[in-house]
Amino acid sequence: MIMLSSWIKRIAFAALLPAFFSMAAFADDPMVSIYRDFDDGLFGRSLYRGVLFSVKLESFSRYVSLPVKDINGLTAYLVSNDRAEYLEAGHGDGITLRDNKDRHYGYEKNGISISFSLEKAPEDLYEEIKRTYSNNTGNVIREVTESYRNGFVIRVLRAENVYRPQFSNLDYEDILISAALIGDSFQPLWGIHDGNDLTAVLK
């Protein structure tokens, strides 16, 4: 596994400070969070990270799992190559392999029922990385780009209607929530909230 650079280590440490206090407050009440002020044209990236939308994991049993139809389910949520190989080998808590060729998986546990595929990031995402870090010095663009080149992004195929449960359709918020459940616990791209990495426990 490629070691995180000093830059990513500093970012990760800074991110852990508020996360530490959040975990202390919600240690017995785990949640999944996304940045609400996202742009779906930027693969769900938030420019300002100003608004959080959070859902208690225990509440998913009250929602309905629906197929993604009228929304592009592609996100910038990253899954490392190590995790992808782990899933491809049939491991992962709550995971069912549905199509090995297309890396299509289902996740069902504790009332959560979603499905997703892993794919290589499109070139548009790399252009977005360049724009995001255009004013940064050092190797930030290269390091974030390598993280994506070496890993996979999540395309959500089925999600829970957590954002507007009174309607029988999905919003992009639902897409991001599902991707955040599966995505790596550290997301290197600014504006993508860290994931929950729910598949990390062996069956």
Q: What is the pLDDT of residues 34-52, one digit of tens each?
A: 999 999 889 999 999 999 9
Global confidence as pTM: 0.85
Q: What is the pLDDT of residue 14?
A: 43
Phi, psi at residue 67, to the nearest 5°?
Answer: -75, 145
Q: What span, in angstroms and rounded, lies between the C-alpha atoms of 175 and 92? A: 20
pLDDT in tens, 80-93: 999 999 999 988 88
Give me the pLDDT at residue 40, please: 86
- Please give the pLDDT value at position 7: 46
* Residue 203 token pair: 């069956």
Report whether 125 contacts 192 (CB < 8 A). no
* Contact assessment for residue 105 and residue 91, using Cβ atoms and an 8 Å cutoff: no
Residue 100: the pLDDT is 84
Cβ partners under 8 Å of residue 12, min gap 6: 4, 186
Vertex 43 angle, CA 33 and 142, to 5° = 100
- Low-confidence stretches of the chain (pLDDT < 70) are 1-28, 137, 201-203
